[in-house]
Structure 1
């Protein structure tokens, strides 16, 4: 049996500390990550992808908080609920970087401008693995070589502003995998990179996941990236998981109208010139109180029930689950 190395179970996230004024921005999110496999989390900006990633690292800070659910991490046979740990405590500091690595969206702001990239990689190795400065530096150079940076001995002594965007992103990957974590969270790892560098970074992540046996959570809004790099997909919309499927099932038969809309807005892989169909409107604000399905106002199939009650995520096949009243299985499950 393939036991997940990481699980988010029914995790809800609120903004605000008082029950009367708090707003829910993520609703009952369930995620399972398995070694050597990649789960993609997709959706437009404002759908809750990045806040879900931060909650997975227990990095939420006031006024954000995990209000319900558990986050389970397999630590060599012992399962820990990291949602119950102090976010700034010693136990979480040992888990971040050692057990869970994260690649943040913007390496220029995530990297410290006053330290060389070699020192920034070596710091994690010294802290988590207890290596001496000399050993940590040698390992940092090896990691830069592993992630494809030329002349790693020289580049290790460079500051972030001396490197290109692609190189900075590779440095972020080196920091994230330095201690061979069992879970890697990649939050928009190719943002602002050109297409060639993007392909190289994604190929590198895929190879490292296979080599090191890491479970990867890939957060992106680019379905082209998903098609080439993921094994499973979760589609989020305004804090709700609206569809979950294997990669083939999702692209062969997208079930939720939101997923169908995302697919229709993509240019065909053949390069044929066609008119794309954008999704009208925009994602509702997190401060907007919504009853029912949040996609109702943008959905071409909306009906009365959609504005009254949010459907539960329900399996419609062995490979696919959807939260939409269009499907008899969903209606029957909530009858």
Structure 2
């Protein structure tokens, strides 16, 4: 099969399209014929092996990549199932988490897959798992958004942001989206009641105060983010930092956790959305919103499997619109 592999840590140029063996499955695993896979910041962190502290945490690999084949988000068809798998059979169309999804075939466990909503293409379905689950956790689980609350999403036009705006709207919150001029119409179309054009104004310097802020960007100091919250408001920090830093987003999150115990506001973080975090219930919750017409994936760019490295470079440059998706014929 064709697959994108990385033999060492480094920039996108080290990614290679090669012929390799199909992954074998154990009794509790599922083989998926990949039709599309999505790109995430998670992928470039796995590619570069940063932040360096993440190597010590066990998920990346210490001196070389833990996973030779890249990719985590998947949409496709079940190819085969292990002897102990129930509820899935060959031919089922699914989406979910699958290590090694930048390939024609990948393997995972049944609990990390859910049925693909019939109204979605494979490309749209691949855009869902990590970004939509992260948005769900940030808005509903961690942020605990309720009807009538004022919610601000920083980075509203990105992969997580586009889902977060829609989820907050579905919860009947009054949503403000922060984005660039080029994305104002997109964010408004997702249901945001108010737009802050980040190229013209800084939401942390305004008079508005928000009950919940989901920060997907990390481009403001914690003190200024707190200034934009109500006295009892909740900040949900989702990342920040950049490739190549020793601590990256981990350092930003540790600062949030350290300050939380000394202030009246609630300062929270979202743990990295690798398969150890999200649950099948999370995936089912976002697909239920999709089937109800409350959630629609936004795809900014698509790439072929051979062009995966260019897709990662695009993501690393920042300010991506919606999701970038790899198509696998």
Task: Normalising by structure 1, report the TM-score.
Answer: 0.26
Task: Normalising by structure 2, report the TM-score.
Answer: 0.27
Instruction: Please identify the structure whose Cα radius of gyration is greater.
Output: 1
